[in-house]
Structure 1
Amino acid sequence: MDRPWKEFLKSGIILLSLSLFVYIFYHIDFLEFQTTPKPPFKIKRVSSDPGSNRNYCTFRPLSPEEIQEENILLDSISWPNTRSKSTSVSLQGTSNAARSNFVILPRPGGGSWLVGDQLEVMINMFDFKGRPKTHGGDFLLTRLHNQALEAGVAGQVVDHLNGTYSAVFSLPWEGKSEVEVTLVHPSEAIPFLQSFAGEKPNGVDFYSTFQSGSLTQTTICSGCLPPTQQPQCNYTDLNTGELWFCYKPKNLSCDARISHFVRKPKPRKAKEDIFFKSGVTMNVGIPASGPAHVTVFPKMKGQLATNSNKDIPGPAGYYYKGLWSSLSGSTVKRFNSASAISQCLKDKVVHMYGDSTVRQWLEFLSGELSDLKVYNLHKLKQSGPYVALDYAKNIFVTYRCHGLPVRMARSPVTELHYVANELNGVTGGKNTVVVFGVWAHFTTFPIKYYIRRIMSIRKAVVRLLARAPATKIIIRTANLKRVSTPLSALVGGDWLSLQRDKILRTMFKGMDVYFVDAWEMTVAHYLKHDIHPPRPIIKNMIDVVLSYICP
């Protein structure tokens, strides 16, 4: 009886094994799915800022500490709400630069203006009917400049919330200088700028191409994707929690996505466009009531400079004879030759991440250093990646575009890496420099989307500095652009850039990082504003960067 029993048991084991093999074979996809790592958070759809058309935006949930920080950040960039819901779109009560004016206030204590003094200007706003404005909220830019000296400094604007504003200027150089005040946007335009982000979605159409064999399909994508009957592909990054979605193509899987691109927004016509008419309600100079210039004399020994507004932060720096000098305590050195630049960068590894305004710095360096050979690994001018090498001097520079969202020509999705993930792969050390600038591509998204992106980058910076404290971290801020149409203002205007710039600075304040103040460097310069600042400004930015690297 033992032998038949053993044979029966053996047959049973074989049958059970075959059954188990068949089960695994037919359910292998299910088993693989179950073992895929899950993100340490739940994806849920929540609305963002109240009163705007963004209820389809998805935001990564935050910890209690992050929620508290986000609320503080939102408060820090809050703008006076001056428009009633019942107010019709009309120029009658809108701020009018041509009827407004500014007045240079006398020097406190009398006498001549001296180098080191603080100049104050009072700005009075009127509407198109010539009536004094009774509330604040206008977006103003101010500058003191002497074009013959190639000198300029940005003014610091204070909104008194009653239709008047103060602009305060440092006086770093002697001679005659002129005050310039510009109404970038009237207060009546700001609500439209606030609410536009998140529409259509985001004012810009992002697309992805899906391909399998000879079959190719294209669908629209975004971090804020309106729900429809069409299923969505979820491309949430498991490490950072960064969100991105595409409508699923009808005949292809989500895994078939190969490229990302953007199409130029179509011109729009809307009743509120009257608030964004260049030279009328947008980017208009405000005239002076009285002299628009001051003459500044050198400070004599023993004389004290006036500083009547100690609570107002001073400017980051100023131009004189075309050269930028810092007023924050750091010294800007001049790197006017290829040998000076290459000597500073010798034995250095420089990693650059961000948009095309950061790529400009690599292009400048490669143009100045003939021995720094640049290799575009995939022949994608906009996104890169780039590698530059000077073998003899042991200089290694890389550039990679930041991850989605990016407004650019067709690029492989495999090359769109998030900055935080890249930083996690940087070893760091005293010979390593990390440069990043992340702002321009986020102006069409709700500000909460940008806050989360900077949070993830900041966490990666903290980790990098913890493992390699000697690493130099240099952050490029936002800069002014050339804005001339309603769409350009709504999609990527200077007010939107300013909000993100404030967020960026606040979130890295107090950390062991260095800033290149591109905002003030473009406000203070006499050349026209451009998303890609002209060469003289870039040269000064590079001097600031190299001064941080080689103090």
Structure 2
Amino acid sequence: MMVRACNRREVNIYLPKYSASFLLLAVFVLIFILHNMDFQKHEANSTIILPSFSSDPYMHHGFCTFQPLSSKDALEEDLILDSIAWPETPALTSLEQTSDPAHSSFTILPRRGGGQWHVGDRLEVLIRMYDFQGQPKKSGGDFLVTRLHDLKLGAGVAGKVVDHLNGCYSAVFSLLWEGSAQVEVTLVHPSEAVTVLRRLTSEQPDRIYFQSVFHSGSVSETTTCNVCLRPTQQPLCNYTDRHTGEPWFCYKPKKLSCDARITHSKGGFKENLKAEEKKLFQSDVNMKVSIQASGSASVVVLPKKTDVKNSDVKCEHCGYYYQGAWRALGGTTVHQFNTSSDIRQCLKHKMVHLYGDSTIRQWFEHLITVLPELKKFNLHTLKQVGPFIALDYANNTLVTYRCHGPPIRFVDVPTSSLRYIANELDGLPGGSNTVVVLGIWSHFSTFPIEVYIRRLQSIRRAVVQLLDRAPGTLVIIRTANLKALTLYEALTNSDWYSLQRDKVLRAVFKGLNVHLVDAWEMGLAHDLPHSLHPQHPIIENMIDVILSYICPEKGS
């Protein structure tokens, strides 16, 4: 393979459970049910709107309409969009001229200043991308992820990728353990596939569509619903939330009123992809495929030099694995809660409220599994949807879960159960015994990024108000994570979409008194396969991070 020089100018970085107890339980459940029945305050505008085309400057992406923002929020939106801007990517001309991981390679660059590698050094790798014809790529925009690991040590850390916009990329790693450290470079998507993903968002933000059942007496009708609905002659029911301004629309049923809507469901998926474009999303060919090294793929790391100062790596939320345990590189020290007794003691006298998607529900399920005393009360709600409530009376611990509002890709959600996180937070008193855990990202992948930015801005306002009235409240936010990709998953929930939303989430909540669980790096740095719902060892480490925030060690 021809080796070429790469101009390494830095352009774009992407990051990668008695009788008395039953009585109290009943009281808690009653309170929970009454709270969940109180939805009049934030009821939707179930009004009819006739189809029209708007000239409003906040009309974006064709038929997606956004309400005007305050000047402050609009400026923030612009700054966020600039900060997550991806390099320009080429259109597909022929598959042979697209990025090919089999022809591409990476090289470990010599240590700056020469000599051997030590803990505290930074390892740099140069990645050269070639096409299927073996010709060097001359533009950037490929989506690469990297990690440094040692399987025997149970060690791993994610790398940071820099795009030089000329077919060359750098990956930078912190050397954090002694012994072997092996580099792994993965092409998630070639740049041409990113072009397709961007076009789909612009032209087909409704490719995942939703449905609602309307029912009154003996009459039932089903219509299509979405954030973005294509203009037709059919009137729309406007369910935009009065408090948050979150938009949601359904085509009005022919016989029934907008107030007759009773359920929400994911409807389906419209692919609308050309045959040639599908070839850009092939497992084992050009999607989630490893790139091999030209030369050695590993280095031997010696102990840290005693005469070197200020080489410790510090960052607010990142970390690495060592002996299978996640270690933070800044902020709260993560310690292991290895027994149910440890977890039970930490959650004593705590109310833990979890809001979000199925990746947050996974944490609720984990807690009720590892804590037999934490009894889940049967509210006769759907397993996927909830809401759920669990109580450990002896230790005065309450844990709840509720899914976030539309767009949520669950099936047959009663409309009375559809709640926006911001509205739920407004109903919380908060306090030093209250823990709020949020996770909202996966169900926004197919929509314009503005939809996600505005949802997070709405949640942030509610978080700020919660912390103002109850400063002792602990707020923890889960980031996005990588997942296994098929063609369908790539088009609807690609890691590239998740990366963009991960960046937005970090930007929106930066500087607030909230804590992150860095699911992105925790999934990327681990040896287990990427999964939307990470496997048990990763979940255990995530729970350790959460519990370390709730019950920090003295001095950490």
CA apart distance, 1:44: 8.8
Q: Distance in 2 between matches of 1:89 and 1:250?
A: 45
- In the alignment, which of 394, 406, 409 is matched to residue 408 of structure 2? 406
Would the aligned equivalents of 2:481 and 2:519 in 1 still touch at CA under 8 Å?
yes
Aligned: 1:332 with 2:334: yes
Would the aligned equivalents of 1:231 and 1:247 in 2 still touch at CA under 8 Å?
yes
Map Cα deviations across residues 159-208 of structure 1 (whole Å, 9 max, x no partner): 11111111011111111121000111111111211121265553212000
2:21 — aligned with what?
A: none
1:441 — aligned with what?
A: 443
1:389 — aligned with what?
A: 391
**SS at 2:501 equivalent:** helix
Aligned: 1:74 with 2:81: yes
Map Cα deviations across residues 433-467 of structure 1 (whole Å, 9 max, x no partner): 10000100000111011111001000000100110
- In the alignment, which of 125, 136, 142 is matched to residue 138 of structure 1? 142
Aligned: 1:253 with 2:254: no
Most deviating of 218-227 and 372-381? 372-381
Q: Distance in 2 between matches of 1:133 and 1:349?
A: 54
Q: How does 1:145-164 map to 2 (within 5 A)?
A: 145-164=149-168
CA distance change for structure 1 residues 394 and 137 in 2, over 3 Å: closer, same or farther? same
2:194 — aligned with what?
A: 190
**Quick one: which amino acid aligns to residue 302 of structure 2?**
F
CA distance change for structure 1 residues 58 and 517 in 2, over 3 Å: closer, same or farther? same
CA apart distance, 1:315: 8.0
Would the aligned equivalents of 1:158 and 1:165 in 2 still touch at CA under 8 Å?
yes
Would the aligned equivalents of 2:350 and 2:396 in 1 still touch at CA under 8 Å?
yes
Would the aligned equivalents of 1:149 and 1:321 in 2 still touch at CA under 8 Å?
yes
**Quick one: which amino acid aligns to residue 295 of structure 1?**
V
Would the aligned equivalents of 1:117 and 1:305 in 2 still touch at CA under 8 Å?
no
1:358 — aligned with what?
A: 360
CA apart distance, 1:266: 5.8
Would the aligned equivalents of 1:372 and 1:390 in 2 still touch at CA under 8 Å?
yes
Would the aligned equivalents of 1:114 and 1:305 in 2 still touch at CA under 8 Å?
no
Q: Distance in 1 between matches of 2:55 and 2:503?
A: 24
CA distance change for structure 1 residues 266 and 517 in 2, over 3 Å: closer, same or farther? same
**SS at 2:102 equivalent:** coil
CA distance change for structure 1 residues 290 and 174 in 2, over 3 Å: closer, same or farther? same
Would the aligned equivalents of 1:150 and 1:322 in 2 still touch at CA under 8 Å?
yes
CA distance change for structure 1 residues 541 and 102 in 2, over 3 Å: closer, same or farther? same
**SS at 1:149 equivalent:** coil
Q: Distance in 2 between matches of 1:180 and 1:474?
A: 30
1:96 — aligned with what?
A: 100
**Quick one: which amino acid aligns to residue 529 of structure 2?**
K
Identity in percent: 57
Would the aligned equivalents of 1:102 and 1:123 in 2 still touch at CA under 8 Å?
yes
1:518 — aligned with what?
A: 519
Q: Distance in 1 between matches of 2:268 and 2:66?
A: 26
Map Cα deviations across residues 397-445 of structure 1 (whole Å, 9 max, x no partner): 1110000000011110110100000000010111111000010000011
Q: Distance in 2 between matches of 1:507 and 1:149?
A: 36
**SS at 2:197 equivalent:** helix
Would the aligned equivalents of 1:46 and 1:55 in 2 still touch at CA under 8 Å?
no
- In the alignment, which of 295, 298, 312 is matched to residue 290 of structure 1? 295
1:423 — aligned with what?
A: 425
1:22 — aligned with what?
A: none
2:179 — aligned with what?
A: 175
Q: Which of structures 1 and 2 has the bigger CA Rg?
A: 1
Would the aligned equivalents of 2:317 and 2:331 in 1 still touch at CA under 8 Å?
no
1:126 — aligned with what?
A: 130
Q: Distance in 1 between matches of 2:217 and 2:428?
A: 37
Q: Distance in 1 between matches of 2:453 and 2:411?
A: 26
2:322 — aligned with what?
A: 320
1:236 — aligned with what?
A: 240
Q: Distance in 2 between matches of 1:529 and 1:219?
A: 36
**SS at 1:148 equivalent:** coil
Q: Distance in 1 between matches of 2:270 and 2:507?
A: 35
Would the aligned equivalents of 2:210 and 2:268 in 1 still touch at CA under 8 Å?
no
How many corresponding residue pairs?
505
Cα RMSD, aligned residues only: 2.3
2:5 — aligned with what?
A: none
Would the aligned equivalents of 1:141 and 1:181 in 2 still touch at CA under 8 Å?
yes
CA apart distance, 1:88: 4.8
Would the aligned equivalents of 1:93 and 1:128 in 2 still touch at CA under 8 Å?
yes
Would the aligned equivalents of 2:207 and 2:271 in 1 still touch at CA under 8 Å?
no
CA apart distance, 1:330: 2.2
- In the alignment, which of 284, 309, 313 is matched to residue 279 of structure 1? 284
Q: Distance in 1 between matches of 2:357 and 2:199?
A: 25
Length-normalised TM-score, structure 2: 0.87
Length-normalised TM-score, structure 1: 0.88
2:14 — aligned with what?
A: none
Q: Which runs of 5+ in 2 are unaligned?
A: 1-42
Q: Distance in 2 between matches of 1:414 and 1:38?
A: 14
